[in-house]
Every structure is written in structure tokens, then in C-alpha cells.
Amino acid sequence: MDPALTAPIPVFDGHNDALLRLHLQRAGDPVAGFLAGATEGHIDLPRAREGGLAGGLFAVFCPSPQKLDFGSLATAGEIPMPPPLPLDLARTSAVAMISLLFQLERASGGQVAVCRSAADIRAAMATGALATVLHIEGVECIDAELDFLEVLYAAGLRSLGPVWSRHNIFGHGVPFRFPGSPDIGPGLTDAGKRLVAACNRLGVLVDLSHLNERGFWDVAELSTAPLVATHSNAHALCPTPRNLTDDQLRAIRDTDGMAGLNFATGFLRPDGRMDAATDIEVMIRHLDHMIEIAGESHVGLGSDFDGAIIPAAIGSAAGLPLLFEALSRHGYDRPLLEKLANGNWLSLLERTIG
Ligand code: ZN
């Protein structure tokens, strides 16, 4: 029997936005809802268990007050980006989301763990606790002097993306544009370069997923750590600026880094449409390409659960086994499935956060 059908493979996932969804939830108790099983979104504890989601990078993303007009992607080919987010606004919402993660841990009675090292993650996974790692996507909450970075590190932060697609004092992000190249302007600022050096010193993963191409190569030049794009796909198959060119995938391979497959349909489909009616087959094509270029030890998952329109065929964290069943039918053997599901991320985190 297909081993993927007997028990879900434990998955450590490179990116989700569950904390943002809980932060924006208007009604009820978001912490209790997550633990007991919410009807909304892609991740809660029961569905994580059902699908084998054993842990992941849990992103803090500070939304702009201006609403994004996703409809304009279809009409104008681009979603206009809001202006830079002021530090005080970003810090207020970042602290609220970080607080939610610690509330989840405390209320869970050992079922959710905030992990600060690869050893913490392995220990949590061994007990069946959801192994969360605190990540911030776009660090508008951090000052140019990096004082708040030290505070966040002490609180458990182990991963950050210098920019989300919105520009900030550290660098320039890629727009939501289709089709488009990630090569859209200047790279890291001086503050951005200091941030990368500080992350290297502390052992904080630097996530390149939303950085523009110049910024990516700036980090490649500066950083002593492996290059990581937690939730980006192959630009060769879906030409959005959010995806990785083959040169970027090769740089990830050459630094013993990682790229995580993003389930966002707009970054999977050759036509760039955000459409839940997207077949699992297109996810397999991206994995084939990413593995071909970056190598099978440098690819994992970065689902974007709770942050994107994902294929309805997966539906939520509970649907993860369907991806592995499809990959198994496609010819991926069990050792490769385990590397993609968790082995590559765990080994990368050993090399970055320790
Ligand atoms: Zn993202």
C-alpha cells in the first residue's frame, strides 16, 4: 500500500499567516478557536493534526491601513502597493500577533510550542506538539538602530523577511504584478545591510521571498548564512516577480539554502490567476522544476496557508496528505517525500538558527 495513505507525513512548513488571521478575527476568542478547531481559514490545531502539519514558521505580518485592491491585478496587471508603514503602527500590530502566539502556547497545555532552535522543533514534533517558529514578514516594526531586533530575538524571533512587497527602510519588495520580473530597482539600504549582518550574528534566518532581485543578490554577497526563500515558486513556470528565477534557485543550491513551495494559486498558475480551481498537478510541476534546478535537498513547502487563495483540492492543512499522495503517484519515493515534508527544513534550520 502507498505509505502516504497510511499516516500523514509530518510536515514542517516554511510559511503561514495564521497569526494574522487570528489577529483580524472580529468575533469570538481566536486562541480558543484555533485550539478547538475553527471553521474559517486553513490552519487550526485539529486540522493541523489531521493533515500532519507538525510545525512551521508562523509569520507576523503588519497590514497597512489601506486595503489592497486585488481586483486590479486582473484589470491593470498590478496591485498598487500602500505607502510605507509607520513604525508605531507596525510595532503595535506586531506585538499583538506575537502576544497571540504566546497565548496559544500557554493555553494549549503543551500542544503548541514556540521553538527557538532546531532541537526545540524536533523535541516538540516528537511529543506531537505543533512546533511554531516566530517569523516576521516585513520588519517595519524594527527601528534603523535595530534595538527592537534584540528585544524580539530575546522573545523568540528566529526568522524575518526584511521587506514584504511594500518598501521600507531596509529595502525594496517585489510588486504583485503579472507578468513581471523581480528585477525592479535598488537593493538593500545601509540599514538593510546592517540588518542582515545582525541576523547572521544572532542566528536569525533572513527570508528573501518578498525581496526584489537586487536585494536578493545584495544578501547573497553579504550574508554568511544559506539563502532562503520561504514561500516562492519557479519564475520559469509562473512569471510573477514573487517567484525565483533559475539563477536565484542555483544560488540557493550553492549556499545550501532552501526554497519553499508556495500554494498561492497566483504564484503557481502559468496565467498568474488567483483561482482556487487549480489542479494539484501544477504544484507538482513547480516542485519538479525547483528540484531540478536547486536540488532535492534545497526544496520544501511554504504553503502560505491563511494568507492566499490555495487550490481547493488541498483546501486546508488537513489536505496536505493529498499533495503527498499525488507526488507519490508522480514517482517521488518515500525518502524524497520526507525530505520535502520536513527533513530539508529541519536541516536548514540547524544551519541557520542552530
Ligand atoms: Zn508572503
pLDDT for the residue numbered 250: 98
Task: Name the 3-class secondary structure at 135.
Answer: strand
User: What does the pLDDT average to over 152-175?
Assistant: 96
Closest-CA residue to 185 (of 169, 168, 172, 166)? 172
Distance 115 CA to ligand 1 centre (A): 21
pLDDT for 6 beyond 80:
no
Q: Which residue has the cell 534584540?
A: 150
The predicted structure's pLDDT at residue 154: 98
The whole-number average pLDDT for the span 264-272 is 97
Averaged pLDDT for residues 299-323: 98
pLDDT grade for 299, boundaries at 50, 70 and 90: very high
Distance CA 113, CA 12 (A): 13
Q: Is the pLDDT of residue 25 over 50?
A: yes
How close is the Cα of 120 to the center of ligand 1, in Å? 25
The identity of residue 133, as a single letter, is: V
CA of 16 to the centre of ligand 1 (A): 8
Statement: residue 352 has pLDDT above 80: yes
Q: How far is the CA of 169 from the centre of ligand 1 (A)?
A: 18
Give the distance (Å) from ligand 1 centre to CA of residue 49.
24
Q: Classify domain 8-352 at the CATH superfamily level.
A: Metal-dependent hydrolases (3.20.20.140)
Reply yes or no on whether the pLDDT at 4 is more than 50: no
- Beta-carbon contacts of 261 under 8 Å, excluding residues fewer than 6 positions away, are 231, 233, 283, 286, 287, 290, 299, 300, 301, 302, 303
Residue 96 is predicted with a pLDDT of 97
Per-residue pLDDT reduced to its tens digit, 107-159: 999 999 999 999 999 999 999 999 999 999 999 999 999 999 999 999 999 99
Average pLDDT value for the chain? 96
User: What pLDDT, on a 0 to 100 scale, did the predictor assign at position 159?
Assistant: 99
Residue 3 has pLDDT above 70, yes or no: no
By residue count, the chain amounts to 354
Cell numbers 530575538 correspond to what residue? 153
Write out pLDDT tens, residues 207-223. 999 999 999 999 999 99
Q: Cα separations (Å) of 17 from 47, 326, 348? A: 15, 25, 21
For residue 40, which of 338, 324, 306, 282 has the smallest C-alpha distance?
306
One-letter identity of residue 283: M
Evaluate if residue 339 carries a pLDDT over 60: yes
- CA of residue 6 to ligand 1 center, whole Å: 32
DSSP state of 24: H
- Distance (Å) from CA 63 to ligand 1 centroid: 12
Checking if the pLDDT of 18 tops 90, the result is yes
Model confidence at 69, pLDDT cuts 50, 70, 90, reads confident
Residue 41 is predicted with a pLDDT of 95
Q: Span 27-52, mean pLDDT?
A: 94
Sketch the domain layout of the chain as residue ranges: 8-352
CB atoms within 10 A of CB 313: 16
Q: Is the model's pLDDT at 1 over the cut of 50?
A: no
Q: Which three cell numbers stand for residue 302?
A: 511554504
Q: Is the pLDDT of residue 171 over 70?
A: yes
Q: How far apart are CA 321 and CA 53, in angstroms?
A: 10
**Confidence bin at 17 (pLDDT 50/70/90):** very high
As a whole-number percent, the residues of the chain with pLDDT over 70 amount to: 98
| DSSP-derived 3-state class of residue 105 | helix
Ligand 1 centroid vs 134 CA: distance in angstroms? 14
